[in-house]
Amino acid sequence: MKILAIDPGTHCGWALTDDRARIASGVWNLFPGRHEGGGMRFLRLRGYLSAILDQEKPDAVAYEEVRRHMGVDAAHIYGGIVAALTEECERRKIPYRGYPVGSVKKLATGNGAADKEGMIGAAQAAWPHAGIDDDNEADACWIAELAILELATKGATT
């Protein structure tokens, strides 16, 4: 099963896995340029999403479900990114699900409150040849891993 995982944010981590094998991952920079409005981050996201969904045709999309934000602007940006993501999944009839931050961190490190360095270190240990050095990319890889583990467990019990 092919999973696209997203760590929503202005530096948007993404990972693509197929049957627990990491295919690719990275970070999309959604930050608006000097002469652009705030809506450009969502247009950029839609462009990246459309390209990867068209090319890779994932079976499901997983994203990090954040319930607490550092401020109002961060909450609005997160909400806009998740809205664009889920809208695109609905339009294409791709199943999607959010995973709580603590669950992702606990899978990666054993600690539901792990810091950025801990998440990067865990990703580097799990995928040593991937060159993961960004916490957003690391989070996306672990979101994908959590989604695949959940799907494998559900598949095994049905």
Query: What structural domains and CATH numbers belong to the chain?
Result: 2-157 (3.30.420.10)
* Gap between the Cα atoms of 90 and 96, Å rounded: 9
pLDDT at 158: 35
Residue 42 scores a pLDDT above 90: yes
Dihedral over alpha carbons 15, 132, 76, 45 (to 10 degrees): -50
Give 74 or 79, the one with higher predicted confidence.
79
Average of per-residue pLDDT across 65-75: 85
Nearest of 85, 79, 89, 86 to residue 38 by alpha carbon: 79
Instruction: Please state, as a whole number, how many other Cβ atoms lie within 10 Å of the Cβ of residue 45.
Output: 21
pTM tops 0.75, yes or no: yes
Average of per-residue pLDDT across 51-78: 92
* Gap between the Cα atoms of 66 and 72, Å rounded: 13
* Gap between the Cα atoms of 111 and 36, Å rounded: 39
Query: What are the start-end ranges of the E strands in 46-87?
Result: 60-65
Looking at every residue in the chain, the average pLDDT score rounds to 93
pLDDT at 157: 40
Query: For residue range 96-118, what is the model confidence (pLDDT) as tens digits?
Result: 999 999 999 999 999 999 999 99
SS3 128: coil
pLDDT at 20: 73
Could you tell me if 125 and 108 are in contact, meaning their C-beta atoms sit under 8 angstroms apart?
Answer: no
pLDDT at 152: 75
C-alpha distance across the termini of the chain, in Å = 16
Give backbone dihedrals phi and psi of 20, rounded to 5 degrees, phi first.
70, 5
Name the token pair of 82: 């998740």
40-56 and 72-92 helices, crossing angle to 10°:
30
Half-sphere exposure of 92 (CA within 13 A, CB side): 21
pLDDT at 155: 57
